Amino acid sequence: MAKRMVSLKDISKACGVSIATVSKALNDHSDISKETKERIRAVADELGYHPNAAAQALKTNRSNNIGVLFVDEANSGLTHDYFSHVLDSFKKKAEQEGFDITFINADKTRTSNMSYLSHAIYRGFDGVVIACVEFSDPEVAELINSNIPVVTIDHSFYNRISIVSDNINGIKELVTYIYNQGHRKIAYIHGQEDTAVTQSRLSSFYKTLQELDVNIPDEYVVSAPYRNIEKALEVTNKLLDLPDPPTCILYPDDFAAFGGYNAIRMRGMTVPNDVSVAGYDGIEIARRISPVMTTIVQDTDKIGRTAAAKLIDLINNPKGTLIEQIVIEGTLQPGESVGKV
């Protein structure tokens, strides 16, 4: 049989005082003597009293629950190598600080007609972290412009704290490394989505080549969806079919770069002897394959931890927390997939 929860009424009976006195003692009110407080708390402990979390939330307007809005267009969900590590790190930090994590229902086919904001209010979230969504979605804008504390990952809004990976320097470092390996015919298959990440990387790609005084034909810059091996394979074949094909191809992410590996091998060619390949993200499997992928390893642990820390600062100290963009640096992993020319 389920054990009955101990109520304030049970404690008041056991102590011979009013329910109001018990409530004040447990909430440390100053008009109750120290001796009475100690006696009431001792009895409460003895009876196994636990404050009701929902009732506490009503009193303090705090639920100690953080909402996570994560919409992955490729439907890879939490198998998404980059974001799963970021969110895992976020979760660990939030739980250390006493917060629970709940995902906001982001399925557009959902039967409830609740918007993201309505869901957040209904759940009583103290704050929300937003990652990997269509940031132009009106429902996302509604949540961003609400009074709920929000931190975004990999996208910036002028009125919100954002934690972003250093995409500009990441691409600069990668392209410079490829250049130093002797490559001048460098192609770039960039992400298809029109996001801040894609724009930053693409601009940095062109700027770095300009600084290195390298001219490439327009045909060398094409797009494919993030994390799509089949499309990356298809686009790689188009690049290699050009009259003057590139000697090195950059991909939107490590996962897509596997499509490049496959396309090159299917032609009876090898990486990096015939064509060099570079990825982005530094996912675990890219460090295990042969040849080990040349990539930028994103600091997913630091991104997640920082996002959680800043959101909790915002929840605990809304007036004194700076609204800022925090840029987290990645690290070049030279690997073996970019050969010397």
Q: What is the pLDDT of residues 45-62, one digit of tens each?
A: 888 887 665 555 555 578
Residue 330: the pLDDT is 96
Give the CATH number of domain 65-164+301-328.
Answer: 3.40.50.2300
Residue 1: the pLDDT is 41
Q: Which residue has the tokens 């009701």?
A: 52
Q: What is the pLDDT of residues 74-97, one digit of tens each?
A: 555 556 788 889 999 999 999 999
* DSSP string of 290-324, one letter each residue: SSPPBEEE--HHHHHHHHHHHHHHHHH-TTTS---
For the chain, which residues score pLDDT lower than 70?
Answer: 1-4, 51-60, 72-79, 106-112
**Residue extent(s) of CATH 3.40.50.2300 domains in the chain:** 65-164+301-328, 167-298
CA distance 258 to 296: 15
Q: Which fold has domain 8-51?
A: 434 Repressor (Amino-terminal Domain) (1.10.260)
**3-state SS class at 221:** strand
pTM for the model stands at 0.78
Which residues face 217 on adjacent strands? none
Residue 275: the pLDDT is 98
CA distance 199 to 205: 10
**3-state SS class at 115:** coil
The token duo for 175 is: 């392209």
Right CATH number for 167-298 from 2.30.30.90, 3.40.50.2300, 1.10.10.10, 3.40.50.10260?
Answer: 3.40.50.2300
**3-state SS class at 160:** coil
**Residue extent(s) of CATH 1.10.260.40 domains in the chain:** 8-51
Residue 296: the pLDDT is 97
Which residues face 103 on adjacent strands? 68
CA distance 300 to 61: 32
